[in-house]
A and B are shown apart, each in its own frame.
Chain A
Amino acid sequence: MTGEVILFWALAPLTVLAALGMLLVKKAVHSAILLAFVMIALAVFYLVQDAPFLGVVQIVVYTGAVMMLFLFILMLVGVDSSDSLVENIKGLRGVAIFTSLAFAATLTSLIARATTGRDPVGLELANGEGNVQGLAGLIFGEYVWAFEIISALLITAALGAMVLAHTQKSPEARLSQRVRSTARFRGESIGTAAGLPGSGVFARHNAVDVPALLPDGTPSDLSISNLLAQRGDVQETKRYSLEGLPKLDGEDKK
Chain B
Amino acid sequence: MNPTNYLYLSALLFSIGAVGVIVRRNAIVVFMCIELMLNAANLAFVTFARMNGNLEGQVIAFFTMVVAACEVVVGLAIIVSIYRSRRSASVDDASLLSR
Contact = CB atoms under 8 A, between A and B. Distances in A.
B15 A101 contact: yes
A179 interface: no
Size class of the B contact interface (CB-based, 8 Å): 35 or more
Contact of B78 (A32, A76, A153, A164): A164
Mostly helix, strand, loop or mixed at chain A's interface?
helix
A28 interface: yes
A40 B71 CA distance: 20
A138 B29 contact: no
Interface in A1-53: 2, 4-5, 8, 12, 15-16, 19-20, 22-23, 28, 31-32, 35, 38-39, 42, 45-46, 49-51, 53
Contact of A28 (B6, B9, B28, B78): B28
Interface in A29-88: 31-32, 35, 38-39, 42, 45-46, 49-51, 53-54, 57-58, 61-62, 65-66, 69-70, 73-74, 76-78, 81-83, 87-88
Contacts of B19: 23, 96-97, 100
B74 A22 contact: no
A16 B16 contact: yes
B65 A22 contact: no
A118 B50 CA distance: 12
Interface in A145-195: 146-147, 150, 153-154, 156-158, 160-161, 164-165, 167
Nearest to A36: B32
A246 interface: no
Contact of A16 (B7, B9, B20, B67): B9
